[in-house]
Amino acid sequence: MPRINHQSGFTLVESMIAAAILSVGVLGVAAMQGIALTRNVDSTELTRATNLAAEMIERIQYNRKNIAQYAIDTSNATPCPQSAVTQAEAKGDCDQWVGLLNNPQASGLVNVRGVITVPVTPVGILGALLNQYPVTVAVSWTGAAGETKVARPKQVVLTTTISPE
């Protein structure tokens, strides 16, 4: 009587196909990990810049009687324009904010520039009637360069309306 050999299991070809499919999946996961790391760095920078801009808006809101004193451009090395005698609070706010922007360890950002735009008089008929000033705080910086990306300029702009008392 002839003997029939019924062996079951994986063949070499099946094993190689399974290994190829697994390696493609592992490469996809590795690529996603790199993208996730890059996006995490981007979101950290965006959060820091937004916090810097929001902090300055809060300082202006607190000292809204002197709103016109907050027009600042920190792109150059000139000191804050406020008078330490007549506008001590605005001068202190400006000095502290510029200090944060110019300290990479404090801000966590590279090549930071802050610009605060406050018009001298209220804008428009409604602004004049309600004594409202549009305030714009812009923080720009050079984004971090990663292994796969080039450092590029980024900017956060926050705009609000403040009414002095």
Q: What is the pLDDT of residue 163?
A: 83
Is there a domain that residue 156 lies in?
yes
Banded model confidence at residue 70, pLDDT cuts 50, 70, 90: confident
162 vs 74, which has greater pLDDT? 162
pLDDT the model gives residue 13: 84
**pLDDT score of 52:** 92
Q: Which residues pair with 73 in a beta bridge?
A: 115
Whether residue 126 lies inside any domain: the answer is yes
* Residue 5 within a domain: no
Please, where are the H alpha helices in the chain? 12-62, 88-102, 104-107, 124-130
Q: Which two tokens stand for residue 9?
A: 């299991």
d(CA 71, CA 56) in angstroms, rounded, equals 11
In a domain, 16, yes or no: yes
Instruction: State residue 88's pLDDT score.
Output: 87
* Contact partners, residue 135, CB within 8 Å, separation at least 6: 57, 60, 67, 70, 116, 117, 118, 159, 160, 161, 162
**Can you give the pLDDT at residue 90?**
86
Structural domain count of the chain: 1
Does a structural domain hold residue 133? yes
pLDDT at 89: 87
Closest alpha carbon to 105 in 55, 48, 155:
48
Read off the pLDDT of residues 145-160 as tens digits, 9 standing for 90 and up. 766 567 788 999 999 9
- On whether residue 38 sits in a domain, the answer given is yes
Over range 103-107, report the average pLDDT.
84
Which among 92, 87, 83, 53 is positioned nearest to 67, based on CA atoms?
87
Say if residue 100's pLDDT is above 90.
Answer: no
Average pLDDT over residues 88-101: 87
Helix (H) or strand (E) holding 155: strand 153-162
Supply the range of the domain harboring residue 64. Answer: 12-162
Average pLDDT, the chain: 83
